[in-house]
Amino acid sequence: MSENPLAPQRLRFPTDASALTARIWPASATRTDDGELAVGGVTASDLVAQFGTPLYVVDERDVQSRAVRVRNAFAEAFERIGTRAHVYYAGKAFLTTQVAAWMAEAGLRVDVCTGGELAVALAGGVDPAMLGFHGNDKSDAEIARAVEVGVGTIVLDSHEEVQRVARAAADAGVVQRVRIRINSGVHASTHEYLATAREDQKFGIPLTEAVAAAEAVRAEPSLAFVGLHSHIGSQIFDESGFREAARRLMDVHATLVAQGPVPELNLGGGWGIDYTESDSAFAPEDVADALATIVAEACAERDIPVPEVAVEPGRYIVGPAGITLYRVGTIKPVTLEVGGDGDGDGDQIATRTYVSVDGGMSDNARPALYGADYTARLARTSDAPAVLSRVVGKHCESGDVVVNDDYLPGDVHRGDLLAVAATGAYCWSMASNYNHVGRPPVVAVADGAARILVRGESIDDLLARDTGVVPAPAAGAAH
């Protein structure tokens, strides 16, 4: 069997279409003696029997160990250059009360960007002083709540927020610590919608206005200026963008140090993870060492003190630790002409197998939004020849694709269980009720047991907020 000409260049024909590549799947993912997928010591069939499909599954120990690994990597790298590092978990990747508690237990701070995320973090027991609050359009109510509960740092995303946060802090009789988010102009090598530091987009204050913004903050008695913040994008594999953004920020940082204290520098997050065999993610130790070197060199060149540094990883910590389980439905082999003029005379013929599942863009919007690629495997093993497959959802959209291209065993059939890897980040967070499909439950697995993190939504849940529901007739009522 050879590679399918419809396959993208990155995708190679597999020697084993059931193999689990360690860097893509959760740390505990394995095959049992009879070939079934298991995570956290719990088989896919047992999980589905208890919780149904679709189902988000999170390897609890993997999340916790990744959080500790990042914390240690940055602590050690920045200790070597004579300063401290603070790791904020980017809650937008995946946040529940228990995930927030895991982060606090691992010694991480938590970054939130809405009043809802703030409420979840607080409900999870996170110390408000360990929270950072982002957002490009914070409401007055969100700002007031953040100040009221004692959020450690509010990130100012615009000039007008200087006065709004200052007013809220003055009303509360406190001095609020703030950072200024800077649009560095660095063009990260990622999808356009994931690049957050380009000039023509909504986030941050232009680099040329940073000094003026800091002066405005320092003029407010109810504000304490902590430092600058930068975030250049997400799912980035090229170190050069981080290096250039840090260099640009350090130029402004040095100017501000000459005017007064600037104790911290926040370099954001955004490093990528492996979703497919063709990806090549950074190790956190490599990221930490690179950023520490950049900061140390920049400070030495400018003859300024090395600041404390903060970073905000999210995807790296939870992404690879999660999978989504689906039940396979309709199978449709589609035969296509490849190349030629489309008349069927002498053109190469190839087949792509469409594998429908009982979820889709309502539980994973990233392929539709960003063209994101994922890896799929059947929960069982098979010796059947692999076929190029496209895993699609049940929604009324042609763009409802879960896995655009992967090779699956050719005997895939209705009723099979299918797992998609690396869905721990941004899938549950971006889930919707499109086509009135309930959002799936989230379960954590560890040590051979599973427990609910977030319950799934039922039809009753979907109808509960609809004010026009007509009561069902009583049993035995006349018609």
User: What residues act catalytically?
Assistant: 396
Q: What angle do CA 327, 328, 330 make, to 5 degrees?
A: 140
- Phi and psi, residue 169, nearest 5°: -65, -40
Q: How many CA atoms lie within 13 A of 310 on its CB side?
A: 28
Tokens 């035969």 sit at which residue? 335
Dist. CA 243–CA 294, nearest whole Å: 7
Q: For residue 377, what are the β-bridge partners?
A: 419
Dist. CA 290–CA 236, nearest whole Å: 14
Dist. CA 323–CA 328, nearest whole Å: 16
Return the structure tokens found at 297: 């060199």
- Check: CB of residue 268 under 8 Å from CB of residue 53: no
- Check: CB of residue 159 under 8 Å from CB of residue 205: yes
- Phi and psi, residue 354, nearest 5°: -85, 120
Dist. CA 390–CA 408, nearest whole Å: 9
Helix (H, G, I), strand (E, B) or coil at 184: coil
- Check: CB of residue 348 under 8 Å from CB of residue 5: yes
Polymer length of the chain? 479
